[in-house]
A and B are shown apart, each in its own frame.
Chain A
Amino acid sequence: MENYSNGTSYLTFLLNQELYAYKVSEVIEVIELQKVTIIPKTPPYIMGVINFRGEILPLIDVRKKCGLNATAEFNADNSVLIVLEINKEDPDNKLTVVSIVNSVSDVVDVKPIDIMPIPDFDTKIKTEYTEGIFKHKDNFITILDTSAIFSLNNIKK
């Protein structure tokens, strides 16, 4: 509450025991794991589609998309779904996608000045998929670049 002005709110979540964040303004809802319908012949990071309030939405495994370790399978006990709406301002590229993560943890306000670039030695996630990193309660939290991760330009057949 202390830094209410000029800050951006971020939803932080756990993925492979690491903390990441999405902009709260892009989050529509956090829901529990739904029945996933697999679509044949899609890249591995597209887990399939789910029914979200009558809409059919793609379910994306960010770990596989961003080259993170993805050995642990998701199941109803270790995962939640974050429904995101990205590129809201651009009607041509507006997209609703669902990101599967291990758990959501917090909503924090971060001032732009507190966001730092990712240090080079941190090789866990490719920097092209990130917007920066910030420190919160002794933890470093990586902000993910939703537009880079979910944009359609790099879907392979």
Chain B
Amino acid sequence: MLEQFKKKYLEEVNDLLNDMEGSLLQLEQNPSSEDEINQVFRVMHTIKGTSGMYEFKTVEKITHDVESIYGKIRDNHISVSKEVSAITLECIDLLRQLLNAPGPDDDKLVEQFLAKLNTISPDGNSKPQEQPTMMAPDTDGAATYYVLFTPEADITTRGINIQSLLAEIDAIGDGLTIPRSWSDNDPNATGKFYMYWESVFSTTKPYNEIEEIFLFVADEVKITKIAEKDLFQKEEFVAEITRLQSTDTKTDVTQLAKFANSLFGNSTSGSNLQTEKNQPNIQPEQPTKQEEPAKPEQPKTAEHSLAAMAKINNSYSDEKTYSRSTDTSDNKNSSIKVDSDKLDELMNLVSELVTTKAEMLLLAEKYNIPELGTICEKIDKLSNKFKDNALSIRLVPIESMVLRFQRLVRDLSNELGKKIDFVTEGTDTELDKTIIDNLSVPLMHIIRNSIDHGIESVERRRELHKPDHGIIKFTAFYSGSNVFIQVQDDGAGMNPEYLKKKAIEKGFLKPTEKPTDRQLYDLVFLPGFSTAQKITGISGRGVGMDVVKQNIIKLRGEIEMDSEVDLGTITTIKLPLTLSIVDALLVSVETTLLLIPVYIIDSCSQITRQKLEEDNGRFIYEGEPTTIIDLRKEMEIHGTPPEEESVIIVNYKDGRVGLIVDKIVGEHQAVLKSLGRYFANQEYISGGSILGDGSIALVLDTNKLIRQMEKAN
């Protein structure tokens, strides 16, 4: 049971991260978009909540810290800088890794990440619930401390969790912790961890409790009591701390103490400075009376400074957060998550219904019952609607996948120092989930190629009088029962002459051949034909486009490329809407029923054995000699062929191949079923479909069949 919940949780978190990635990329374009900021905030908040439930403590911690940053952004205290968006993307990656592929170095990564995060949000590690002590007017026994924490370089290997230390300081009082990094030439930094922390806080807790926190790092910590008062009650002090926070040098604690004292009158500057262990007992010398004269001038001091504190600390009340998150979730279009097994089951039932309907139609025809015929028609209409509906549930918008490409373009173009705009169109086009799942890898590859080889460097683009920013355009649209996806770039394009040279070099082409440009572009899809002039880490290793093509073919799709030198390249992928139903031609050889997908059929023709013998086994179709495959022979089906046989002419690569069958039975909308693992090795039968009378027809994968024949010859 628990595993099941965990799976759900992981799915949910992954979805949320995808959403968030999208928002972030939007945010990079438009850093002040409130919707996107809220979306990131909401996602972090949601993940934080569920992670807490499932005891993913690290995830909870990370999301909490990032959430606080976005809380601050939301309240306009910091803006979405490049660093912020970069670190948030990093956060997404880190969370994905932690959840999906946990590794031994995770703890270290998390620590590094949190440390980095801290440089952006100085108090990212604040607790979600603020301690209410600030609110209490009674500040008796309160004191303000300054803690300098300069860990040694080996801190992380000693099993000390810096974050939990910081969290403990945070919990002990109210104030803030400023993370700092050593400047390069600071002599004090020798042998130290690359970061150090300064913390200023007020607390009512006794000194030894603070000491206890640092029990294991006592040598790396210096605790100084600045004042026997809660200095954060003073607006000036808060302002000063805020100022210190924005500087990047170590705070001069003596100065700070002086300043603190000045707030209460200059009387005992520095004298109440107590350093480390020397002075655990409280010196009750602070003249509380001196506070009095200051008060009339700032009647609402406490409140004001409280507000200021709240700003620094980004303390938000939980109600506020929840109301926000529910607000946004209300606005989101209502959708439910469904187990894909249930969808498969639904599809199975629908196909059963379609089959049963066909059975009934057969009966109606057999006994010639017109009334039954009308009912059948009605059922026919309904089951068609039912089928379309069930199919549409499996369809998801391409958008879900495009985010990843946006990210890819962003990251890669930064890495390569190119300027690329990624433009999308028609991302609401829907495709079967299975297709989408199997499409993202090939598409990634194509886009990667465009970034790496297509779009030129800024210098080169200037030479060519092209705008600095290259464009990669991703377009999706419907056409009939197909979906087309195009990836277009305005880059260098492919040079047919270069391709030709390369092809001849590698023996893909004879020097005498005169291929068309289109044929040359198709060479790119051949295994081992890599044209990358230099191998980069990104692409050009000779595996690639052929694998892309294989993947597309597996999805019953097609792919082609077109290009123009210096204008760019366009890759077009044609895909079926869904994989589970295919329009096919039902043919027979003896009693064996076969289905040939309609989309691959060019035309049908007749043939006699006699004619075939006269032509020496050659089949001329429309004046062209065409390869033929005798399915009877190929499938080892015994019996005598009829006088006249049918030839189904199918497209294969750029040519055509004829398949000889006994006869054409008719068209059939086939609900594809797997033949099961027993037949996983089956070369060219991709599945079966149950016909109206309960018999099974086998679905032919003609591409595989022909390829296999080619190999055999």
Chain A residues within CB distance 8 Å of chain B: 35, 37-42, 46, 49-51, 54-58, 95-97, 152, 155, 157
Contacts and interface: CB of A to CB of B under 8 A. Distances in A.
Nearest to A95: B677
A51 B690 contact: yes
Give the dominant DSSP class at A's interface.
Answer: strand
Contact of B685 (A39, A95, A97, A157): A39
Contact of B694 (A42, A51, A58, A97): A51
A39 B675 contact: yes
A56 B696 contact: yes
State the 3 A-B residue pairs at the shortest beta-carbon distance, nearest first.
A40-B635, A58-B678, A37-B696
A37 B677 CA distance: 16
Contacts of B685: 39-40
A56 B674 CA distance: 7
Interface hub of A38, A42, A56 (most chain B Cβ within 10 A): A56
A54 B677 contact: no
Given A37-B592, A38-B592, A39-B675, A54 B681 contact: no
13 contacts: A35-B694, A37-B592, A37-B697, A37-B698, A38-B592, A38-B637, A39-B685, A41-B636, A41-B682, A50-B696, A51-B690, A56-B676, A97-B678
B636 A39 contact: no
Contacts of B673: 55-56
Contact of B675 (A35, A41, A56): A56
A54 B675 CA distance: 12
Contact of A39 (B348, B674, B677, B698): B698
A155 B681 CA distance: 9
Given A54-B351, A54-B355, A56-B688, A39 B695 contact: no
A51 B695 contact: yes
A54 B348 contact: yes
Contacts of A40: 634-637, 685
Contacts of A49: 675, 679, 688, 696
B695 A46 contact: no
B377 interface: no
B35 interface: no
Contacts of B93: none
Interface string B659-694: 000000000000001111111111101001010001
B355 A39 contact: no
Nearest to B348: A54
B107 interface: no
B644 interface: no
Contacts of B592: 37-38
A57 B673 CA distance: 11
B219 interface: no
B679 A58 contact: yes
B425 interface: no
Nearest to B635: A40
Contacts of A58: 675-676, 678-679
Nearest to A157: B681
A57 B676 CA distance: 7
Nearest to A57: B676
B352 interface: yes
B73 to A, nearest CB: 46
A51 B356 CA distance: 13
Given A38-B637, A39-B685, A40-B637, 4 more contacts: A54-B348, A54-B355, A56-B688, A152-B678
Contacts of A46: 678
A58 B698 CA distance: 13
Nearest to B688: A56
Interface string B299-317: 0000000000000000000
Nearest to A38: B592
B688 A54 contact: no
Given A51-B696, A54-B348, A54-B351, A42 B679 contact: yes
Nearest to A152: B677
Contacts of B683: 41
Nearest to A59: B678
Contacts of B355: 54
A47 to B, nearest CB: 11
A54 B676 contact: no
Nearest to A37: B696
Interface in B561-613: 592-593
Nearest to B631: A40
A37 B688 contact: yes
Interface hub of A51, A97, A152, A157 (most chain B Cβ within 10 A): A51
A37 B695 contact: yes
A66 B195 CA distance: 72
A6 B681 CA distance: 41
Contacts of B674: 56
A86 to B, nearest CB: 12
Nearest to A53: B352
Contacts of B694: 35, 51
